[in-house]
Structure 1
Amino acid sequence: MSDRTVTEPEPAWAARWAGALLCLVVAGIHVVDQGGVTATRDPTYVGIAYHVLEIAAVVAAVLLLMRLVRPGWLLAAGVAAGPVLGYLLSRGPGLPDYSDDVGNWTEPLGLASLAVEGALLLVSVPLLAWSLRPRS
């Protein structure tokens, strides 16, 4: 038995690395979609949301790799759920001053983003729940 103080299940290191990689892919997809790191989407609030998401994704990846699992998985779940909600709202009813994507459900980059975010949700939510359970 190891004397490590971290009490993660054995395959947790693989899940943390997978979660970190998925977070970075989410960030990368959104950087590509906005036209680069220094570009900002219009309207301004959408552009700011993209930048916040990208920063949050990198921070979540770092937290997971540093074994700060509770905040890491919590932020990773937000990094996954936020863009899914944005996709649904921007393609469905539209957002204020942003109707370019209404009805554009099959955009390839959007579908790729949904796939990555779905995988991140499948990894992060159960591990977040695991990290929140009381320790005995």
Structure 2
Amino acid sequence: MSHHAATVSGSTWVARWAGVLLCLAVAVIHVVDQGGITATRDPHYIGVAYHVLEIAAVVAAVLLIVGLVRLGWLLAAMVAVGPLLGYVLSRGPGLPDYSDDVGNWTEPLGLVSLAVEGALLLLSIPLFMRSLRRRT
């Protein structure tokens, strides 16, 4: 079976579209949380991180759609891990010049974000690892 046929067949195609939707959901959640696509959160580095995450999520979705699955799954995993780490740090010890969310573990949008990012991570890691075993 050719690499292309294996990439777009059956469950892999479904997984790719699930990854696309989860990546786009991460982007949308963070756009909503920052107050819109043109808004930037304070402090400035948090706002920049949000924009980088949103762009990376869209790029990962596009890579998965066009069939660049190895790079797409790798970027999708990073799109999942980044905000998961940010959630823990911002709610736990806090971040420099950013303590608004310390202790706010049950914010509804934050919990939705955790669920989406967790699902994306659970999907992307094994599929990225599988892509490494395939010859391209």
- Identify the TM-score tier after normalising by the shorter chain: over 0.9
Q: In 1, distance between residues paired with 2:17 and 2:67?
A: 10
Offset from partner CA, 1:74-98 (integer Å, 9 cap, x none): 0000000100000000000000000
- AA matched with 2:62: V
* Distance (Å, rounded) in 1 between the aligned partners of 2:3 and 2:71: 17
2:52 counterpart of 1:44: no
Structure having the higher helix fraction is 2
Unaligned runs of 5+ in 1: none
Q: Which residue of 2 aligns with 1:97?
A: 97
* 2:71 equivalent in structure 1: 71
Correspondence for 1:54: 54
Q: CA deviation at 1:10?
A: 3.2
> What's the TM-score once normalised by structure 1's chain length?
0.94
SS at match of 1:11: helix
Report sequence identity in percent: 75
How many residues align? The count is 134
Where do 1:1-136 residues align within 5 Å? 4-6=2-4, 7-8=6-7, 10-135=10-135
SS where residue 124 of structure 1 aligns?
helix
Distance in 2 between residues matched to 1:65 and 1:134, nearest whole Å: 18
Using the size of structure 2 for normalisation, the TM-score is: 0.94
Matches of 2:135 and 2:65, distance apart in 1: 22
Instruction: Name structure 2 gaps, 5 residues minimum.
Output: none
